[in-house]
Amino acid sequence: MQPLIWESRPDGLRAPAMIVAFSGWNDAGDAASAALTFIGESLGAERFARLDPEEFYDFQSTRPHIGFTAEGKREITWPGIEIFAARVPRASRDLILVQGPEPSMRWKTFCRNVIDLAEALGTQLVVTMGALLADVPHTHPVSITGLASDATLVDKLAVRETTYEGPTGIVGVLHTACMKAGLPAASLWAAVPHYVAAAPNPKAALALVRKIESLVAVAVDATELETATEEYERQVGLAVQSDPDVQAFVERLEQAADRDTTQLGPGDLPSGDAIASEFQRFLRQQGPPDR
């Protein structure tokens, strides 16, 4: 059986752009996956295809979930990639949205399937999104870095070009595969404060949404995400104020960001792990966020 399972054919898509995000290693603060989900919900995207998870997931590391249906029957939900189409009548193009957990194996085969899908639908641009942990303060605008397949796209991104070298995830592999296949491709990465790593970060998600809007020329009503961002900044601000060591650390990050560098040097207080632990304790006391 072919991994790509079509549920319907979204005929008539206009100059489609494919936007891709994966939860897991590539998705600090759930920012990239939340941004893509928000875009899909805002534009009324409808699922039309999926990838069979059998070839691409280790179910011991990415486990299926069991729950109850509306009829009260037990049902297993398998991890996997879902593919949606969003028709945007007021824009010059439609969108294809690809989302799911980062696959565990056979990344080359996985990328070939995504590229085959993109070519079958006449995709004109593939945009991957990710989020990474960084020594950045939550008080500053979210830093977005990126890269693109050609100089024109680089100029259109209007972000600092990434110079990262090191281990990569499926986002980096898919971006490279698209370039080799001759598909115009761009990759956007949001920087998430490492001391709030375990909490969902709507501020970073909002920054990615805004950058996607300008890149693909599709507008999204992000009022709900803006409200979630304000609540996130309020809670993190309270956490900072509750601990002098945390406050001192964040101030050092702000000073470093103002100098356009994230190198704090030895002797900075306290450790990132200690701050992360303190934030999680504080957020648990506050109760679950609305979004």
**What local confidence, expressed as pLDDT, does residue 141 receive?**
92
Say if CB 260 and CB 217 are below 8 A apart. no
What Cα–Cα distance (Å) separates residue 14 from each residue in 93, 118, 141, 168? 5, 13, 33, 32
**What local confidence, expressed as pLDDT, does residue 184 receive?**
96
At 146, which amino acid appears?
Answer: G
CA distance 3 to 197: 33
Across-strand partners of 47? 84
DSSP calls for 177-202: HHHHTT--EEEEEEEEEGGGTTS--H
CA distance 27 to 133: 9
- CA nearest neighbour of 27 among 230, 170, 215, 184: 170
Unique residue bearing structure tokens 């990050």: 253
Task: For 39-62, write each residue's pLDDT tens digit.
Answer: 999 999 999 999 999 999 999 999
Say if CB 201 and CB 136 are below 8 A apart. no
pLDDT < 50 positions in the chain: 261-271, 291
Which residue ranges form the domains of the chain, and what is each CATH number? 4-220 (3.40.50.10900), 227-286 (no CATH)
CA distance 115 to 171: 13
Across-strand partners of 85? 46, 96
**What local confidence, expressed as pLDDT, does residue 267 receive?**
39
Which strands sit side by side in the sheet containing 95-101, from one edge to the other?
4-6, 46-51, 81-86, 95-101, 17-23, 125-134, 185-193, 144-148, 160-161
**What local confidence, expressed as pLDDT, does residue 187 receive?**
96
**What local confidence, expressed as pLDDT, does residue 268 receive?**
41
Q: Are strands 160-161 and 65-68 parallel, antiparallel or unpaired?
A: unpaired
DSSP calls for 245-274: HHHHHHHHHHHHHHTT-----TT-SS-HHH
